[in-house]
Structures are given as C-alpha cells and as structure tokens.
Copies of this chain bind each other. A is one copy, B any other.
Amino acid sequence: QVDTDPGEHSGSLRDAVAREILDHPFGNPTFTGRSWPLADTRLLAPILPSKVIAVGRNYVDHARELGNEVPAEPLIFLKPSTSVIGPNVAIARPASSDQVDFEGELAVVIGRPCRDVLAENAASVILGYTVANDVTARDQQRADVQFTRAKSYDTFCPLGPWIVTDLDPSDLAVTTQVDGETRQEGRTADMVFPVGEIIEYVSAIMTLLPGDVILTGTPAGVGPLLAGQSVSVTVEGIGTLTNPVIDRP
C-alpha cells in the first residue's frame, strides 16, 4: 500500500517502481497502467487484516529468556486490527505501562479463504510475507496472564514495508535494531513450529481470510523501547520495518 499525492493505492513493487493494482492484490492482480517511483510515495501498512493471529514462545531461546516453557502446541493469541500501523508511523507508549517491548517477527499474509489446511499445502493459501513488530506492554502481560491488553494498544502492530510473494520462509535471518544497535538476531529455522505447522494448527480452529496476518513469534533479545528511540526489524529477503517511538499524547 502506498500513499501518493493524491490518494492511497495498492501496488506491486519492482525495480523501485510502484505499479498500481485495481481493486485488491489477491489472485491474479489487474494492473491499471499507472505507476510511481517508489521514492515519490509513502509506504503504508501493506494490508488491513480482518484478523491478526500471533504465536507465542515459538523460539526456544525467547521462551527461556522470559522464564517460560516451550509449549507442546502453538500458543496462539489475537491482536486487534486497530493496532496495525505502517512503516515510519510512531509506536505510542501508553502511560499505563512502564515497559513497552519490541518483538521482531516474520509475518505471513493469507491469500485466500481457507480452513483445515495441511502443513504441506500451506504455501497454496499464502499470499506472501512481511515484517512485523509484536509490540508488548510486558508489565501488563505479566500482571494479566492473558496477553490481550498488553498486545492490543493502538500502534502495537507495525507491519511492512511490503509483502514479498516469492520467498522460502524456512531459514531467514530476523534482526531487530534499536537506534542502530542490534538487539535480536535469530533465524526462522529455529522456530519451534515452522510456518506450515502454524497454518495447519490455526486453520483447524478458525477460517482464514485473504489479508489475515499471522505473526510467527520472536527470537531472543526482546527489550524495552523509550520515547525518542527508533526500532527497525529486518527479515532477510523482505526488508526493514522502521518505526519511531513516542509517549502516547
């Protein structure tokens, strides 16, 4: 999704040019013929999901750093669509929390309505991949036990910068930097449940719709964000999602 003067558009990015897509990016997209140099656009969140599903404790080292067991099945939770923001939009720390943490993650974008998808068929329901930051009010997560409040604040789900449709997700570097200093360095090969198994598990519970987003968990190294800092999550083969941090006005 890109913002130009005037208007917002869905587009396909190639060679730093955004080519406008008619209607929506699912299936075989229709191109309108209009295009803009990427440098003349502002990138928006690449998708407005009907739901965001996330997997907790999906890297052994991260589960241990928070003192948790590695679960026997994927541990899922939901983030509201109102928490989604795009690249370069500020993450707003609420006054009610003393510790707002970054969690860099690979995100899967669903391409078609589906249910009961087997792991080996997961690729057929995936539109592509993007980068996510599963921002979490850690103190509230500990206090509530339920993850919902801690992970549902407006701005707590940065997504972007775009969706890469041709990517093997099985062994990609996931890196998070705060003000240029590396804080998380993981590889998707270390996921407890890889992408196919996550799709099988989630789609056995709920129907997945085009545009739904699944966050696949964060590697070790999570930590707090302060107003004035900038956090960047990079997934190899996709790109870098950068967001400044402010205190919620």
Give the chain B neighbours of A77 by CB distance below 8 A.
Answer: 146, 148
Residue pair B80, A154 in contact (C-beta under 8 Å): no
Tell me which residues from 202 to 217 in chain A have a Cβ below 8 Å from any Cβ of chain B: 204-209
Known contacts A115-B154, A154-B115; A206/B82 CB under 8 A: yes
Which residues of B have CB within 8 Å of A145?
Answer: 145
Contact call A80/B206, Cβ cutoff below 8 A: yes
Contact digits for A61-90, partner B, Cβ 8 Å, 1 yes 0 no: 000000000000001111111110000000
CB distance from A248 to the nearest CB of B (A): 10
Q: A147 contacts the other chain (Cβ, under 8 Å)?
A: yes
Q: Are A206 and B153 in touch, CB under 8 angstroms?
A: yes
Q: A78-B152, A115-B154 known; A206 and B83 CB under 8 Å?
A: yes
> Taking CB as reference atom, which chain B residue is nearest A209?
B82
Q: Is the CB of A207 within 8 A of B78?
A: no
Separation of A144 and B136 alpha carbons in the complex (Å) = 20
Residues of B within 8 A of A75 (CB): 144, 146
Say how far A121's CB is from chain B's closest CB, in angstroms: 19
**Contact partner, A147, options B79, B146, B204, Cβ 8 Å:** B146
User: Does A76 contact B146, Cβ atoms closer than 8 Å?
Assistant: yes
Provided the pairs A145-B145, A147-B146 are in contact, do residues A51 and B82 lie with their beta carbons within 8 angstroms? yes
Tell me the nearest residue of chain B to A143, going by C-beta.
B73
Query: Quick check: B82 and A80 within 8 Å, CB to CB?
Result: no
Let me know if A221 is at the binding interface, CB within 8 A.
no
Query: Roughly how many angstroms separate A206 CA and B147 CA in the complex, as a whole number?
Result: 14
B51-A81 in contact (CB<8A): yes
Find out whether the CB atom of A78 lies under 8 angstroms from the CB atom of B76.
no
- Residues of B contacting A239 in the complex (Cβ-Cβ under 8 angstroms): none
The answer to the question of A142 belonging to the interface, with a C-beta cut-off of 8 Å to chain B, is no
- Docked CA distance A145–B146 (Å): 8
Contact present for B76 and A154 (CB under 8 Å): no
B148, A207: Cβ atoms closer than 8 Å:
no
A196 in contact (CB, < 8 A): no
Q: Please, which residues of chain B bring their CB within 8 A of the CB of A115? A: 154
The 6 closest A-B pairs by CB, nearest first: A78-B78, A82-B207, A51-B80, A77-B148, A82-B206, A76-B148
Q: What are 6 residue pairs bridging A and B, where the CB atoms are less than 8 Å apart in the complex?
A: A50-B81, A75-B144, A78-B78, A94-B205, A153-B205, A154-B207
